[in-house]
Structure 1
Amino acid sequence: MIDYEALMAREFPVVEHHYSEKDTILYALGLGLGTDPLSPSHLRATYERAEGFGALPAMVNVLAYPGFWAMEPDTGLEWQKILHGEQSLTLHAPLPARGTLVGKVRITGIVDKGAEKGALIYSERDMHDKATGKRIATVASTTFARGDGGFGGSDDAVRPVHTMPEGDPDTAFEFKTPVGAALIYRLSGDMNPLHADPEVARGAGFERPILHGLCSLGVASWSITEALAGGDFTALTHLQLRFSAPVYPGETIRTEMWRDGADISFRARVLERDVVVLNNGLAHLRGPRFD
């Protein structure tokens, strides 16, 4: 069972993460970029000599992270029932294509939803460039601990999600994920067998291995800059969303967008099943098109 005071005070190790252009390219390939090897947009993320080559902003999600810490016995969490509920990222400076980031996680809130309703755990990770000390990014997550409600409650409140606009989206972008995407994406750090082992996936109630939620997020973030920023993925400075359903590798993700100046409301659905998989999304773009 959760010990509220102990979990809020939990001390996480400082993680130093060195990555190279090869890792940057591998991350982009894991999203499915490179399926059109003649496209300048694909090459900017997958070929180190391409004009404008750089790291996709959403790559910060897989850098300087301490791993699946909920599995550690002293957390008191029933980790087998944990789901990834929400994710956000904020870029304070462009992510270099190679370098060393230093990151540290902290718990920022825990909400007891009740004995049969689980708990919400809010966490945040700040990352700095080791060489310069510059603050690069802040990543925040909401973990839904389905088996850990009823620990005694707290004063923490459920944090609101972004409200989606009414009416049809202003634009949309479709991207078909490769059938082997999860097997590549997992090499960027998330080795959970749920995304590779058919038996594990069936045991969890899925017909086959599912795509990582953060992979779907990466596809949506790239789709937004493709549709609205002329392919300049460095225009993305903030993104937040709620995970609402899994994606199977090989499915087509349609990212639907509503523009309000530099702020972009968005959601993503899988066309083959007409299911919304990412919802309550908000992105912020910078540059001449948005200033």
Structure 2
Amino acid sequence: MKVERVVSRPFPEVRTRYSVRDTMLYALGVGACTDPLDERQLRYVYEGSLQALPSLSCVLAHPGFWLKEPELGIDWVKLVHAEQYFTLAAPLPTQCDVVGRYRVTGIVDKGADKGALMYVEKTLHLSDGSPLGGVSSTFFLRGDGGCGNWGEPGRELPATPDRKADGSIDQPMLPIAALIYRLSGDYNPLHADPGIARKAGFDRPILHGLCTYGVACLSLVRALCADDASRLRSMGARFTKPVFPGETLRTEYWTGPDGDVRFRVLSVERDVIVLDRGVATIAN
């Protein structure tokens, strides 16, 4: 990786308009509405009572797969999502014009043959300049260790509580879940092309990390917000293991004072933790 070129890469403002169709498609991609006769679940996919999932903020005003640009020298085939965090200033509209501004905030070199972490920040605004929210992403560049450090590392997510969870909720994922989710803007072939997946060390395409993250968001809204998505104001988590489309994802959660929530996500079939160190804030 050519660090100087990465950190000096210009990021033009990304102006985009998302529609109610985009809001519905995103929700379907993260497994919403497994029971089309459940009116509360229809809130995510039906225009009659539509609401936007807060994690939709992570895919709005997407800059494209810029990490694949040859001049940056990143071994993008070995790139995986490491952590994600968003915070919202207000509930997301179901459709609107948004402006996204990006910057690389830090690179942490874990050592040769150990990879590197890259921290990227996105701020979202409405077209009139009003703040909508902020999104922080951490990427694990498995093939780019030894590149050197730059900037500042991201926030430290707290460890998951060492006690039995207060509750849990299961979300089955379709075998074609990754193919649906990628239509929300992340076209990394790792999640669709079996050949690319094998080059990255997987025997088949894996689910997007942000899709698993969206499943956790949906699950928390369903379990703790009575399907009122406007109450979930912030959420962060660390990706720990890949997920394969068709698995059942179980979100375990611990509730605390003042709307503080901790959570993690497991693959039920493999009994492994796939999302850990989860934190969220829920408004009353």
Per the TM alignment, residue 114 of structure 1 is displaced from its structure 2 partner at its CA by: 1.4
Partner SS for 1:258:
strand
Structure 1: how far apart are the matches of 2:103 and 2:231?
28
Structure 2: how far apart are the matches of 1:32 and 1:281?
19
Alignment of 1:42-121 (within 5 A): 42-50=41-49, 53-121=50-118
Structure 2: how far apart are the matches of 1:264 and 1:76?
39
Per the TM alignment, residue 186 of structure 1 is displaced from its structure 2 partner at its CA by: 1.0
TM-score normalised to the size of structure 1?
Answer: 0.92
Q: Does 1:147 align with 2:143?
A: yes
Q: Structure 1 residue aligned with 2:260, among 250, 260, 263?
A: 263
Partner SS for 1:138:
strand
Residues 65 and 104, structure 1, Cα contact 8 Å, conserved in 2: no
Q: Structure 1 residue aligned with 2:185, among 184, 189, 193?
A: 189
Per the TM alignment, residue 156 of structure 1 is displaced from its structure 2 partner at its CA by: 4.1
Runs of 4+ in 1 over 6 A off after TM superposition: none
Structure 1: how far apart are the matches of 2:155 and 2:96?
34
Per the TM alignment, residue 65 of structure 1 is displaced from its structure 2 partner at its CA by: 1.5
Q: Deviations over 1:183-214 (max 9, x none)?
A: 11111111222222233323333232221111
Per the TM alignment, residue 74 of structure 1 is displaced from its structure 2 partner at its CA by: 2.8
Structure 2: how far apart are the matches of 1:91 and 1:63?
13
Structure 2: how far apart are the matches of 1:19 and 1:155?
32
Show the counterpart of 2:2: 2
Structure 1: how far apart are the matches of 2:80 and 2:155?
17
- Aligned-pair identity in percent equals 49
Alignment of 1:1-291 (within 5 A): 1-4=1-4, 6-50=5-49, 53-130=50-127, 132-154=128-150, 156=152, 159-261=155-257, 262-287=259-284
| Structure 1 unmatched runs, 5+ | none
Per the TM alignment, residue 83 of structure 1 is displaced from its structure 2 partner at its CA by: 1.4
Farther-moved stretch of structure 1 (70-79 vs 233-242):
70-79
Farther-moved stretch of structure 1 (118-127 vs 146-155):
146-155
For the aligned residues, what is the CA RMSD?
Answer: 1.6
Partner SS for 1:199:
helix
Give the residue type in structure 2 aligned to 1:7: V
TM-score normalised to the size of structure 2?
Answer: 0.94
Farther-moved stretch of structure 1 (148-157 vs 136-145):
148-157
Partner SS for 1:37:
coil
| Structure 2 unmatched runs, 5+ | none
Per the TM alignment, residue 7 of structure 1 is displaced from its structure 2 partner at its CA by: 3.1
Per the TM alignment, residue 152 of structure 1 is displaced from its structure 2 partner at its CA by: 3.7
